[in-house]
A = this chain, B = another copy of it.
Amino acid sequence: MTRPAAATQDDVRRHNVGSLLRLLHVHGATSRASLTEMTGLNRSTVRALTTELAEAGLVREAAPVGRGRAGRPSIVVEPESERVYVLAVDIRVEHLVAARVGLGGVVLDRREMRQPRGSTDVRRTLRRLAGLLEPLLAGAPDDAVCFGLGVAVCGMVGVRDGVVRLAPNLSWVDVPLRALLVERLAAPLGLGPAPPIAVGNDADLGAMAEHTRGTAAGASDAIYLSGEVGLGGGIILGGRPMTGGGGYGGEVGHMSVNPRGRLCRCGRRGCWETEVGEDAVLRSTGAAPGVELSEVVAAHEAGDLTVRAGIGRVGRWLGVGVVNLVNIFNPQVIVFGGATREVFPLMEPFVREALTTALAAPREQVRLELPALGADSTLLGAAELAFTPLLEDPLRDLPATPVRLA
């Protein structure tokens, strides 16, 4: 009769300690008094749990700096961002980005590499990744612990098996990315035999990051647009990620908006990504081969009329898709990440004009925003993915057997 009760008590404790660590991860250094208020737990419980977290090396406790107000100053609890970290990787079409991200979402070290289009075969990508990750691991302090590797990829991903079903812009089909990362990277990087590696869709992870600590924080329903060449959507509904029946939901880039438009890589005509992706912007603005999006933005700012006309054309298509999403999802916020982050400021007037044609009720409730995390929403989402097991059950493997990768 005592075992179930004990298990329940332990469940409650695990839940509470997870909630506390998540609060610290999201909000950074927080006083015990604030933690008490935010969690609704009583003071002695908070003290006991933060002590446990500190003993496990996940947080540190310190007297507050500066003069306190009246009354006894409350101890400040801070995530051990330098010592507790994950590796995050963002596989984009034209860039590879990797970072060491500390608890609290702090980017401790970040490396980026350009990869020419057409050179994104899996073998080369993995080799480049190893080249990015090695110095990140080498640069970590001796007493720091790596809790996992999270990978964002611009394609449809089976979340459970880590297989990239389709990443048209990388020319990947059914790539068992998680298994390959374990096989090719675990040993060279000195990772353990069962390294905690998780793979997710870049848009889903961008949405997760912006919802956790960005412009969609506090929203129940949010859409994050992602992608360099293509366009994907990470969708949060009722506070939870939308996965679809099989985990492949959110491919808003393959919503056809223009039946007379160009043929998309997916085989359909006039997909949204074909009309508003990077290639469409370059084509519409008459950019010479090899021109970068940033150059188009500069030419627009300089008043180039051809570029301005092209931006207008693409901006109207961007607006059509945005209105579709507003009518279909009734989101509180749409976040323009990926390539749209660079061009949205130029296209915003056209998108806002299109928005006047949305249904009134959802139109009144939607914000259009740039990502608060800049170009790194997807990278930081990969870090969030890697932190998830730790945050769900911080003391599971601690202090006896922390999952040490390096």
Residues of A within 8 A of B (CB): 156, 165-166, 219-221, 233, 237-238, 240, 242-252, 254-260, 266-268, 320, 323-324, 327-332, 357, 359-362, 365-366
Known contacts A245-B332, A320-B259; is A327 also within 8 Å of B254 by CB? yes
Shortest Cβ gap from A3 to chain B (Å): 19
Minimum CB–CB distance from A266 to chain B (whole Å) comes to 6
**Residue pair A324, B360 in contact (C-beta under 8 Å):** no
Contact B362 A244 (CB under 8 A): yes
With both chains docked as a complex, state the minimum distance between the C-beta of A124 and any C-beta of chain B, in angstroms.
25
Contacting pair B221 A244 (CB below 8 A): yes
Is B260 touching A166 in the complex (CB atoms < 8 A)? no
> Complex: how many Å from CA A266 to CA B363?
12
Could you say which residues of chain B place their CB within 8 Å of the CB of A156?
359, 361
Cα–Cα distance between A156 and B220 once the two chains are bound (Å): 19
Identical chains bound together, number: 2
Chain B neighbourhood of A327, CB < 8 A:
251-252, 254-255
> Please, could you name 10 A-B residue pairs with CB atoms under 8 Å apart, sorted by A?
A156-B361, A242-B329, A243-B330, A244-B330, A246-B361, A246-B362, A250-B328, A250-B330, A251-B328, A257-B257
B contact residues around A219 at 8 Å (CB): 245
A328 touches B328 (CB 8 A): yes
CA A238 to CA B330, docked complex, whole Å: 18
- From known contacts A254-B359, A260-B260, infer whether A246 and B330 are also in contact, taking CB-CB under 8 Å: yes
Known contacts being A259-B257, A365-B245, is A266 close to B330, with CB within 8 Å?
A: no
Q: Does A246 lie within 8 Å of B359, measured CB to CB?
A: no
Q: CA of A366 to CA of B320 in the docked complex: distance in angstroms?
A: 26
Chain B residues within 8 Å of A320, by CB = 256, 259
Question: Does B249 contact A221, Cβ atoms closer than 8 Å?
Answer: yes
In Å, the complex CA distance between A246 and B359 comes to: 13
Top 5 closest pairs, chain A to chain B, by CB: A244-B330, A221-B245, A249-B330, A245-B332, A254-B327
List B contacts of A332 (CB < 8 A).
245-246
Q: Which residues of B contact A268 (CB under 8 A)?
A: 323, 357
12 additional A-B pairs beyond A165-B361, A243-B330, A255-B255, beta carbons within 8 Å, are A156-B359, A166-B360, A221-B245, A237-B244, A237-B249, A244-B362, A246-B361, A254-B327, A254-B359, A255-B328, A258-B259, A268-B357
Chain B proximity of A210: nearest CB distance (Å): 15
A221 to B245, CA, bound (A): 5
